[in-house]
Structure 1
């Protein structure tokens, strides 16, 4: 049975509002998503260490799925192999979980692991419903006989320019970027103001670009490092170096002022898919689904920040209700483009107005996507049927 989540978006007094109907339906389990991180007692080791690490900790399991918990390892998406004896006895949906593995990586999978990405997961189980469709997970990278949690190392980039300023137009100028640590590989983009002069590959901690194309004037030169492996190193940029180029001897110059009239761009909220459902719902159980991806565009030019919040009505079926606080969401957010940054809201029930995502003042310009995993706890004393509620998202 196909159930709909209908959405409409508009702009009112500088705020965008999205109203959506949420309908509980019974259907096939959703594809596994992340319930959160698995925090390991160490961030690296060898594949033969026994145990692989001392402990793994997660937040509590989803409500109703606290009968058992299991620590496993495998390629992204599975299949997974056990790293520990499964926890039993219940109560794992009441408090954070700690599991102590009892074997090595290679023992768990029956041989040496291949290089690349692997997942360490914690699964949660219900006595009646079995394994929860989603899982806690943390990615690790295997290289040779070692594994590590991919925590990127900080880098620094500095710029040297030769010859020293000022120079005559047409003089060859050499820009040398030094990247530390010297083991970092990648490319450096050299810039004149916001314009790119070109890129060069980092070798032995240095990247070099020579140019004779600098125009007459005084401007800023800078260098920006992009790592080849973003899981190993973080990007960095040099400070600005002021540089002057003078006209060649005998040249005649004339200034021309160029004026650009820049109008403000969009401030909007758009839902990507108007159809969604919560599936797997049974009396006394849970229903799960995803909020359709929402795109926030802030090209106003003010960079004043924004908040996208949600307010949910109670679910109703005739005179029967399920309280709005029974629905919880775990927000997610990502930047599509622009200079700003977006932050996902905290996981919470929707018994009150909650933040889906936000951008701070001074860093809110760009295009962003926000979404959420949804989980509805269904009381054991409500009649079965189709319950619906309206969720209103407000961007301001």
Structure 2
């Protein structure tokens, strides 16, 4: 028995045994096939040649079998943190200005650490606002305190700009309104980190200047500077 594929012999003829002939192959090409079996008798005088009806077969490429897994991860929002290692700033006792019009003293803020780990790296702004200085029933107007912000250090990938110089009011009395832009009685910018350049850790500070009216009674005066990161 000669098996054929689209009229082409598949290997050699197979001897018929017990009325059957079998061909096994693993080399069929991808695509359409038409198989026939052609009987070739050993004794042409006794038997006639015959051909079977065609049997169609479509061979397709093995695409494999599939399975799936769902992979999930949660991206945390991160945090914007602000802290100071030392909360106490002591300014030297104010001294009389050379013209005798007011008392002055200077100093510096302790380093302020800002750490930003927020996803999206949106940038941040740190501002500060001070209360009046109080000693018992006496006060010094908080607007008499000014600062000169500075960036002490930062992560290499950060872009941070120090806030503008804020001059102190000129020793105004308690309760008086400071001239526009003077003093820290209103919130003032200490530093700004640009969007996409705020992630990391930075240390900020500022030089301080305080002007005190000569009429201020003796005492230890204390104010609270609130620093806000947003």
TM over 0.5: yes
What is aligned with 1:313? 131
How far 1:281 moved relative to its partner?
Answer: 1.4
2:104 pairs with 1:291: no
2:148 pairs with 1:326: no
CA distance in structure 2 between the aligned counterparts of 1:351 and 1:264, rounded to whole angstroms: 33
- Runs of at least 5 residues in structure 2 that lack an aligned partner in the other structure: 1-70, 97-101, 167-182
- The match for 1:269 among 78, 82, 97 is 82
- TM-score, normalised to structure 2, is 0.55
Deviations for 1:22-63, whole angstroms, at most 9, x for unmatched residues? xxxxxxxxxxxxxxxxxxxxxxxxxxxxxxxxxxxxxxxxxx
How far 1:335 moved relative to its partner?
Answer: 4.1
How far 1:338 moved relative to its partner?
Answer: 4.9
Question: Where do residues 118-157 of structure 1 align in structure 2 (5 Å cutoff)?
Answer: none
CA distance in structure 2 between the aligned counterparts of 1:338 and 1:366, rounded to whole angstroms: 9
How far 1:351 moved relative to its partner?
Answer: 2.8
How far 1:364 moved relative to its partner?
Answer: 1.5
How far 1:327 moved relative to its partner?
Answer: 0.5
Question: Where do residues 201-212 of structure 1 align in structure 2 (5 Å cutoff)?
Answer: none
With over 3 angstroms needed to count, the CA separation of the structure-2 counterparts of 1:323 and 1:350, relative to structure 1, is: same
- TM-score, normalised to structure 1, is 0.33
Higher relative contact order (CA 8 A, sep 6+): 2
- Two-structure CA RMSD over aligned residues (Å): 2.1
2:186 pairs with 1:352: yes
Deviations for 1:65-96, whole angstroms, at most 9, x for unmatched residues? xxxxxxxxxxxxxxxxxxxxxxxxxxxxxxxx
How far 1:303 moved relative to its partner?
Answer: 1.3
Q: Which has the larger radius of gyration?
A: 2
Are the equivalent residues in 1 in contact too, given 2:94–2:212 (CA < 8 A)?
A: yes
- The match for 1:388 among 210, 222, 225 is 222
Deviations for 1:189-221, whole angstroms, at most 9, x for unmatched residues? xxxxxxxxxxxxxxxxxxxxxxxxxxxxxxxxx
CA distance in structure 1 between the aligned counterparts of 2:118 and 2:156, rounded to whole angstroms: 12
CA distance in structure 2 between the aligned counterparts of 1:259 and 1:337, rounded to whole angstroms: 31
- For the residue of structure 1 that corresponds to 2:94, the secondary structure is coil
How far 1:285 moved relative to its partner?
Answer: 1.8
2:200 pairs with 1:366: yes
How far 1:362 moved relative to its partner?
Answer: 2.4
2:94 pairs with 1:281: yes
How many residues align structurally? 139
- For the residue of structure 2 that corresponds to 1:292, the secondary structure is coil
- Runs of at least 5 residues in structure 1 that lack an aligned partner in the other structure: 1-257
More strand by share: 1
Deviations for 1:286-339, whole angstroms, at most 9, x for unmatched residues? 122111100100111221111111111111122221111111111101443252
